[in-house]
Chain A
Amino acid sequence: MNPTRRSFLKIGTGAAMASVLGFDLKAAYAESKELKIARTTETRSTCPYCSVSCGVIIHTIGDKAKNVTPQVVHVEGDPDHPINRGTLCPKGSSLMQDIVNDRRLLKPQVRRPGSDHWEDIGWDQAYAEIGRHIKKTRDESFITTDSQGITVNRVESIAWNGGCTDTNEFNYLAVKTMRSLGVCFIENQARV
């Protein structure tokens, strides 16, 4: 949302006349530009970029009432956060554009074998196909025992790559699901 143009000096004509005529004993005041975060809802979050973990306040328009979809208008440092104390770097300062960005992926897509383009796919269809792929690959290559006959129960044909901004709780879900599948190749941005 663009801020409205400044509206300072907009005090009534009468006042202007009065002041020109010198009736007003007060000093002159001008309204400054509208403060764009005057009526926003503040949500405390953590910057997703580096490991300093700066506290950020996400300002949204909309008061979280049921019938309102909030819209992010500004992101600013959280002054209470003991580490960043309200400051943000050039990446943190641009977080609004990371949230509201017209390059975001908005629907599931699939690229079929040999194809040269993306196709849209429904979520249910995507889950069904992915589930089938995982089961097929796992069943085809599951290693119950190693060459010496020792039980190993592992899968070496599926890999999991976790990202740097995955939360702890999500990562635990990944560890749980992947280890239970027997996946050995569990890796993360943490390695590289």
Chain B
Amino acid sequence: MTNGWIDIKNTDMMLIMGGNPAENHPCGFKWPVEAKRERNAKMIVVDPRFTRTAAVADKFLQIRAGADIAFLGGMINYALENQRIAKEYLVNYTNASFVIKEGFKLPDDGLYSGYDHDKQTYDKSTWNYEGAGAHQAPSGKASQSGEAPAPPLAPRQAPPPPSLPPNVIYDTSLAHPRCVYQLLKQQYSRYTPEMVERITGIPKDQFREAADMFTSVRKDGDMKKVATIIYAVGWTQHSFGAQIIRAAAMLQLLLGNIGRAGGGVNALRGHSNIQGATDVAGIFDSLPGYLKVPNPTDKDFAAWMTRITPGSSKPKDWDSFNYYSNTPKFAVSFLKSMYGDAATKQNDWAFDYLPKVDREYSWVHIWDDMYQGKVKGVLSFGMNSVAIGPNSQKTINALKKADWLVVCEIYPDETSEFWKSPGISTDDMKNIPTEVYRLPGAGFAEKDGTFVNSARWLQWKWAAVPPPGDCQLDQAILARIFLKVRELYQKEGGKFPDPILNLTWNHLDPNNPSLSELAKELNGRAISDVTDAPTQTTMKAGQQLPGFSWLRDDGSTSCGNWIWCGSWTEAGALTQRRGTDDPSGLGIYPNWAWSWPMNRRVLYNRASCDLNGKPWDPDRRQVWWNEAQKKWLGVDVPDFKPDSAPKDHMGPFIMNPEGVGRLFVPLAGMADGPFPEHYEPFESPVANLFHPQQNTNPVVKKYTSDMDKYGTPDQGFTVICTTYRLTEHYHYWTKNNPMNVQLVPQMFVEIPVELAADLGIKGGEKVKVSSARGTYIAKAMVTRRIKPMTIDGKKVYQIGIPIHQGYRGIQEDAGRESKTLANLLSPTVTDPNAYTPEFKGFLVKLEKA
């Protein structure tokens, strides 16, 4: 979330789409309801189903699953056509005025300029700003801060990727034919209400009403009102998911809603700590704090830094903070946290200890590689891989080829018991060589530590009870495993033991590291005395650092995750704070827990003010420029250079090298285009109306093993299927919990009344859903909440499947529920940016079971 849960109460207008917060985030949903009750805010809900969120909305539109970009593109077009835009914000806080290079081509035929049909990737060199003067190489801080410039790369290595021009040509009249604004208009002029209707199935009058309602916050140029966009995995789980979110962000930039109380683009996130897992890089493609992992073209630390540290790129008369220019400080401090004294300037901060990767290792790749026999062992801690990923049978078949599997869980789950999943006989088991260890971990109430919620709050929790039976704390289990491996390398040697032997392990009880020790390590400390030049204050060696501005690239600081620096300082654990004061009344609660970065509650909040630093809405003041004190003040922590006067025209989006919000994403920012374009889901019953010859995302990730089958309408797969959670259940977890089982005892398939009538299916009867990959059997829920849709004159049905059924659970074990998984149906197709699978909107066949 750019904003936070409570902040939603400050809004005047909500678009809830790709998310169903009433069902999946009920306690957060109180704040949208509060906005309705206290501000008469309007709520627009767009979803393939009439959900429990829709039940309390002011306007509901039923959309075809996967047609989101067409809808949002239509909204952008409506805002531009009707001048429902925030002009001053647009010109000064976004790249609307930036001129794009000649040779850039919009995707009228479905392809942007630079497409390579053979490799199915883009050469993005034309996706760039036009620079003034000679084009310079990027100048990262690494080379500016006195380190030797990187020597030329070895000839066999790829040339450095094109970079942003430091001095961008721009036109604040927005009239230049190649400026972002004009390209944007051109791109979305195709997304007319008529096209929106033909693609999404939403009648154009209804679409216009919704577009009028949402953009009404900018009626007649008024800047006081604010609209928010709220989404979840209904947007991310598509083969173009990241671009849907881009489209939403663009709409919000056009309307000037980002950075403002009651505004923003708000990812609800689905689980207690996946925000934290992303922040601390529990994912293959980043290191903690969103640092990009090194790849083989980075011959040394300096080369890595040069590649990932952006130089600023802006109009000559503007200023840009370009916060990522500090990247080397974050990276060195991270390596010091990892390897302590073993990371020295002389050994390039132990740069070689980090694995160098130049391919994708995302979730779906794990099982593809394992199915090919390449991945031999898996450690799965609290992650039910078989049930959670797409194409569960492929995951099961892959696990059959592994040598070993370690599962740490609190309940018997589908993954640890993959070897006895339905259809596998005792004889078959003899041929499954996988050795499976199932280790009983601790539940949430038995552990302390922090989660990061979707509002970026780190909140400490306290353990209430000890783990039952022989269960152990997860951190103790992982520690014991690691220490055993380290012991073996110490005794026996082996391949490159250095990083294993030198990993920092400063725990009072090495076998059971305390989470507070790790939390302090994540925050970071001074290794030797560090002095802050502006304030002339010094942190002594060993002291916890107060914030990431203290981090250094000379080895004098250590920090596990720079964005969490400031969470556990000399003042103690700020994540444990329980202050209930909210002096501004905006729901900021500055003394409750701690929010990254630097306890800021609304990101980009400089944009809540006009060019002169005055809040757009004086009744919702967040930050403001104080001319007398020459600094930014606020009820929230200003997300800005504190002393940058408005006249300097520093952009509010300080994490971008441009300093402004990106309507157009240049270069490698996105894999599939600088603007979002409507593509059909990988399996779709209709052709792409914009460009039937380029139906789906041209750079979509798909797989080629014999388990990766994709269906077409010609094969009889004509019904669109989407999967989701129910409010009564939580993934594959509460099927072990009697009270939740009681609420929804058996899983079902939601089927439109009309489709059920066509097939002679009555509510409560068993139905079979088949995709090209597998089948799913459950009871029919025949409902009016999903209506048949007309897509370009063709009747199209959608059905929905809640995902909570499995092989093990109270009902499954009692024989009251068929043993099956919704993800036996879903395809191994992912978004090319985020590698998230397309769980929403694939093709199936429906019949009586």
| A contact set with B: CB distance below 8 Å | 43-55, 58, 60, 69-72, 77, 80-85, 87-95, 97-99, 101, 103-116, 118, 121, 123, 126-135, 137-142, 144, 146, 148, 150-192
26 contacts between A and B (CB under 8 A): A49-B271, A49-B272, A51-B454, A83-B455, A90-B728, A91-B727, A91-B730, A94-B737, A98-B733, A98-B734, A99-B464, A105-B409, A108-B437, A131-B487, A137-B404, A146-B356, A150-B299, A161-B380, A162-B277, A168-B449, A170-B478, A170-B515, A173-B475, A176-B338, A188-B274, A188-B283
List, in ascending order, chain A residues with CB within 8 A of B354's CB. 153, 179
A165, B271: Cβ atoms under 8 Å? yes
Q: Are B431 and A114 in contact (CB under 8 A)?
A: yes
**A contact residues around B284 at 8 Å (CB):** 184-187
Q: A180 and B437: CB pair below 8 A?
A: no
Quick check: is B503 within 8 A (CB to CB) of the other chain?
A: yes
B232, closest chain A residue (CB): A51
Check A187 against B283 for contact (C-beta < 8 Å): yes
Say whether, besides A156-B375, A173-B479, A104 and B471 are in contact (CB < 8 Å). yes
Min CB distance, B756 to chain A, in Å? 28
Q: In the complex where A137-B377, A163-B381, A172-B521 touch, is A191 in contact with B272 (Cβ < 8 A)? A: no
**In the complex where A104-B410, A126-B439, A142-B495 touch, is A168 in contact with B740 (Cβ < 8 A)?**
no
Contact B835 A191 (CB under 8 A): yes
Whether A129 and B437, one on each chain, are in contact in the complex, defined by CB atoms closer than 8 angstroms, is: yes
Measured between alpha carbons, how far is A140 from B280 in the docked complex, in Å?
29
Inter-subunit contact B274/A189 (CB<8 Å): yes
- A153 contacts B438, C-beta separation under 8 Å: no
Q: Is B496 within 8 A of A142, CB to CB?
A: yes
Q: Chain A contacts of B451 at CB under 8 A?
A: 46, 48, 53, 165, 167-168
Whether, in the assembled complex, B461 has its beta carbon less than 8 Å from a beta carbon of chain A, the answer is yes
Q: Is the CB of B429 within 8 A of A177?
A: no
- B492: min CB distance to chain A, Å: 8
Interchain nearest-CB distance for B359 vs A (Å) = 8
Residues of A within 8 Å of B444, CB to CB, are 45-48, 98, 165
Report which of B362, B468, B475 forms a contact with A169, defined as CB distance below 8 A: B475
Question: Do the beta carbons of B282 and A89 come within 8 Å of each other?
Answer: no
The reply to whether A188 and B277 form a contact with Cβ atoms under 8 Å apart is yes
Q: Are B432 and A182 in contact (CB under 8 A)?
A: no
A153 touches B375 (CB 8 A): no
Contacts of B835 in A (CB 8 A): 191
B737 near A53 with CB under 8 A, answer no
Among all A-B residue pairs, the 8 with the closest Cβ atoms: A163-B382, A106-B469, A131-B484, A167-B449, A164-B271, A53-B453, A154-B355, A48-B444
Cα distance, A164 to B454, chains bound together (Å): 13
A90 and B435 form a contact (CB under 8 A): no
Interface readout for B559-579 with A: 1 if CB under 8 Å, 0 if not? 011001000000000000010
Please determine whether B435 and A133 come into contact, CB atoms closer than 8 angstroms: yes
Query: CB-CB < 8 A to B484: which residues of A?
Result: 127-128, 130-131
Inter-chain CA distance A142–B494, complex, in Å, is 10
Contact A45 B461, beta carbon cutoff 8 Å: yes
Knowing A97-B739, A110-B436, A190-B283, say if A116 contacts B426 (CB, 8 Å).
Answer: yes
Check A171 against B276 for contact (C-beta < 8 Å).
Answer: yes
B87 → chain A closest CB, angstroms? 35
**Stretch binding the partner chain, chosen from B77-85, B195-203, B364-372, B767-775:** B364-372
Known: A49-B730, A182-B499. A43 touches B282 (CB 8 A): no
Q: In the complex, which residues 578-594 of chain B have their Cβ closer than 8 Å to any Cβ of chain A?
A: 578, 580, 582, 587, 589, 592
Does B849 make an interface contact (CB < 8 A)?
no
Complex Cα gap A110–B436 (Å): 6
B665 within 8 A of A: no
Q: A177-B503, A187-B282 are in contact. Are A60 and B465 (CB under 8 A)?
A: yes
| B435→A110 contact, CB < 8 A | yes
Q: Of A97, A101, A118, A135, which is in contact with the most chain B CB atoms at under 10 Å from its CB?
A: A135
Q: Interface range on chain B: under 10, 10 to 19, 20 to 34, or 35 or more?
A: 35 or more
Stretch of B23-31, B183-191, B537-545 that contacts chain A: B23-31
Chain B positions within 8 Å of A81 at CB level: 592
B5 on interface, CB distance cutoff 8 Å? yes
CB of B438, distance to nearest CB on chain A (Å):
5
Distance in angstroms from A132 CB to nearest chain B CB is: 7
Q: Of all chain A residues, which has the CB nearest B446? A: A99
Judge if B403 is at the interface, Cβ distance under 8 Å.
yes
Q: Which residues of B contact A101 (CB under 8 A)?
A: 411, 736-737
Is B160 positioned at the interface, with any CB of A under 8 Å from its CB? Answer: no
- CB pair B489 A169 closer than 8 Å: no
**Residues of A with C-beta under 8 A to B729:** 91
Q: Contact: A152 with B487, CB < 8 Å?
A: no
**Do residues A134 and B470 form an inter-chain contact, with CB atoms below 8 A?**
no
A residues within 8 A CB of B382? Answer: 162-166
B447 touches A167 (CB 8 A): yes
A108→B438 contact, CB < 8 A: yes
Q: Closest A-chain residue to B355, C-beta based?
A: A154
Contacts of B839 in A (CB 8 A): 192
A contacts with B: majority SS: mixed
Q: For residue B349, give the distance in angstroms from its CB to the closest CB of chain A.
A: 14
What are the residues of chain A within 8 A of B485 when measuring CB–CB?
Answer: 131, 134-135, 181
Q: How far is the CA of A50 from the CA of B440 in the complex (A)?
A: 22
CB within 8 Å of A: which B344-365 residues? 352-358, 361-363, 365
Please give, as numbers and ranges, the residues of chain B lying within 8 Å of A54 by CB-CB distance.
27
- B282: chain A residues within 8 A (beta carbon): 162, 166, 171, 174-175, 186-188, 190
Q: Does B330 lie at the interface of the complex (its beta carbon under 8 Å from any beta carbon of A)?
A: no
Given A50-B272, A183-B355, A190-B283 in contact, is the A144-B518 Cβ separation under 8 Å? no
Cβ-closest chain A residue relative to B380: A161
Q: How far is the CA of A170 from the CA of B306 in the complex (A)?
A: 31
* Structural contact, A130 and B280, CB atoms closer than 8 A: no
> Assuming the A-B contacts A45-B444, A104-B411, A186-B282, are A160 and B30 also in contact, with contact meaning beta carbons closer than 8 angstroms in the complex?
no
CA distance A115 to B361 in the complex (A): 31
Tell me whether B112 is interfacial, beta carbon within 8 Å: no
A48, A49, A123, A131: the one within 8 Å of B472 (CB): A123
Chain B hits for A191, CB < 8 A: 283, 362-363, 834-836
Contact A148 B561 (CB under 8 A): no
Query: Cα distance A132–B470 when bound, in Å?
Result: 22
Asked if B274 and A139 sit within 8 Å, CB to CB, the answer is: no
Residue of A nearest to B271 (CB): A164
In the complex, the answer to whether B519 meets A169 with C-beta atoms within 8 Å is yes
CA distance A160 to B481 in the complex (A): 13
Residues of B within 8 A of A99 (CB): 443, 445-446, 464-465
Counting CB contacts under 8 A, is B488 at the interface?
yes
Complex CA distance for A127 and B483, rounded to whole angstroms: 9
The residues of A that contact B435 with a CB separation of less than 8 Å are 110-113, 129, 133
Residue numbers in A under 8 Å from B378 (CB-CB): 158-161
Q: How far is the CA of A130 from the CA of B362 in the complex (A)?
A: 24
Mark B520-560 against chain A: 1 for CB-CB distance below 8 A, else 0: 01100000000000000000000000000000000000001
Whether B254 is near chain A, meaning CB under 8 Å from some CB there, is no
Among residues of B, the one whose C-beta sits closest to the C-beta of A47 is B272
Cβ of B647 under 8 Å from chain A: no
Task: Please name all residues of chain A whose beta carbon is closer than 8 Å to the beta carbon of B412 when the two chains form the complex.
Answer: 103, 105
CB of B466 closer than 8 Å to a CB of A:
yes
- Known A-B contacts A103-B411, A108-B440; the reply to A177 vs B269 at CB < 8 A is no
Cβ-neighbour of A106 out of B383, B440, B499 (below 8 A):
B440
Whether B6 pairs with A186 at a CB distance below 8 angstroms is no
- 8 Å CB contacts to A: which residues of B596-631? none
- Which of A70, A151, A152, A156 is B465 in contact with, Cβ under 8 Å? A70
Residues of A with C-beta under 8 A to B472: 123
CB atoms of A83 and B355 under 8 A apart = no
Chain A contacts for B268, CB-based, 8 A: 51
- Alpha-carbon distance between A61 and B450 when the two chains are bound, in angstroms: 25
Chain A residues in 8 Å Cβ range of B376: 137, 140-141, 157-158
Is B105 engaged at the interface, CB distance under 8 Å to the other chain?
no
Q: B796 interface residue, CB < 8 Å from A?
A: no
Binary contact readout B379-403 vs A (1 if CB under 8 angstroms, 0 otherwise): 1111101001110000000000001
Question: Does A51 lie within 8 Å of B274, measured CB to CB?
Answer: yes
